Amino acid sequence: MTNLQQKRIYEPYAPTDGFRILVDRLWPRGVKKETARIDLWAKDITPTTALREDYHSGRDTWPAFEAKYRAELLHNPALDSFLQTVSQHETVTLLFAGKDTDHTHVTVLLDVIRQQTPSET
C-alpha cells in the first residue's frame, strides 16, 4: 500500500517525499517550476474553479465544500488514472499551496484515495 502524505509546496523538498504530486489547479505564487521538484501536476482531480471560488468567497461552508468536492471526485473521469498513478509508488506526497492545512481539499482527496484503494492483506 502506498504511504500517503500531504505537504505545503513552500516547505523544502525532502528525500522522504517520494513521488511529488501538485494537487492545485493554479500554479502556486512564488514557486519556480524549475526548482519545485514536481513529478506530476494533477490539475484534473482538483476542485472545479466554481467550487473553489464558492468556498473561498464564503458562499459555501467547509462541510458543504467537502461534500461537493467528494461528489466531484467520485464522478471525475480522471480519478481512476490518478489512483493508478498513486498506487505505482511506495510514497506519494500531495503538495498544495493553501495556508490552512486542516481545511484544504487535500484532506478530502486523501480520504477518497484511501477509500478507493484496496488495502493489502
Mean pLDDT, each 10-residue run in order, the chain (121 residues):
93 96 96 93 96 93 96 96 96 95 93 82 41
The amino acid sitting at 13 is Y
Whole-model pTM: value is 0.92
- What's the total number of domains in the chain? 1
Beta strands 40-41 and 91-96 are unpaired
State the Cα–Cα distance between residues 69 and 118, nearest whole angstrom: 21
Residue 121 lies in a domain: no
Task: Give the H/E segment covering residue 68.
Answer: helix 62-74
Task: Give domain status of residue 96, yes or no.
Answer: yes
| 10 to 6, 35, 95, 119: CA distances (angstroms) | 12, 11, 9, 31
Range of the domain at 11: 3-116
| Cell 494533477 -> residue | 42
